[in-house]
Amino acid sequence: MSGLRVRDIGHRVVVRHRIPGGLTDVIGVLQAWTPELVTVRHADGALHEIPASDVTAAKTIPEMPLRPVDVDQLFLTTALGRPAVETAHVGHWLLRASSGWTGRGNSLLPAGSPGMPVADALKHAETFYDERDLPPLALIRIGSPEDEALRACGWVDARPGQSDVLVMHTTLDHVNAAPEYDVQLDEHPGDAWYAAAFEGPVPAPASKVLEGAPKAMFASITLDGRIVAVGRGSMTGHWLGVDAIRVNSAYRRRGLGTAVLQGLARWSGSLGGRRTYLEVLLENTAAMATYTRLGYREAYRYRYLTSR
């Protein structure tokens, strides 16, 4: 007897069962259950199909708690997951430019030491952006020492009317369930993917930014003969970054965005992924509710500052 039932599907479980030469335990999420077969999904996405007759003990266990996140590391990881077209450094600080497309791709990331007084480093940043005819922007983690230092030098909110951006994180255990839809994964997106990802013309730098990560994957769902949902995943160490999720307005509220995320999570798990992050505007209450329901929690918030 497995000790589990249909009601336990979706919960974390531990299953002890017989193998040649002894016993072993499998810990994961119960994917399926019948009186004859127990199917457990491990954190790496692998499915373990265990005959119920081999099970000696099984029970549900609490959800894996989120370990404290290294915020400084994650702050840098997000930059590596979506690299800018052009980069330069002032000490450890990262200058990024991508012809003006997205704040992340065209802003200073002040992490670590600039190797000189902050005021001097900021002058270097202003020159960098002036030379590219871009406004001087800095992506600042709210409440960080850099936030205080830049404001002390006269930098102010660049987008005062926009809410904070939340960087949220969770473990793959929470989001790597089998998608309800067939999710297509491609290393290189085609024109149809870009057409679904953008409303109107595709910005010129988009392909370089989105395809610039060393390890990236592009997900899509096709219904009624056309791509109706897309998303992008990038691997940095054991972190999966998820972004560019977009669902056609006529197909929303069907779980397509969640399915895209799950497809990317399962890809990441097979490559050693263990944790995942994404970014969302605090004012985007629908997305916030979805991500919170899936187990994502806030790691930190950021805003953009400017000297002008």
| Domains within the chain, CATH numbers bracketed | 6-60 (2.30.30.520), 84-156 (no CATH), 167-305 (3.40.630.30)
Q: Give pLDDT, residue 64.
A: 67
Residues sharing a CB contact under 8 Å with residue 279, sequence separation 6 or more, in sequence order: 78, 165, 166, 167, 168, 243
pTM score over 0.75: yes
pLDDT in tens, 224-245: 999 999 999 999 999 999 999 9
For residue 305, give the nearest of 123, 155, 142, 141 by alpha carbon: 155
Distance CA 161, CA 303 (A): 11
Q: Give pLDDT, residue 2.
A: 62
308, HSE (Cβ side, Cα atoms, 13 Å): 9
Residues sharing a CB contact under 8 Å with residue 63, sequence separation 6 or more, in sequence order: 12, 173, 174, 295
The parts of the chain modelled with pLDDT lower than 50 are none
pLDDT in tens, 179-217: 899 999 999 999 999 999 999 999 999 999 999 999 999
Q: Give pLDDT, residue 62.
A: 77
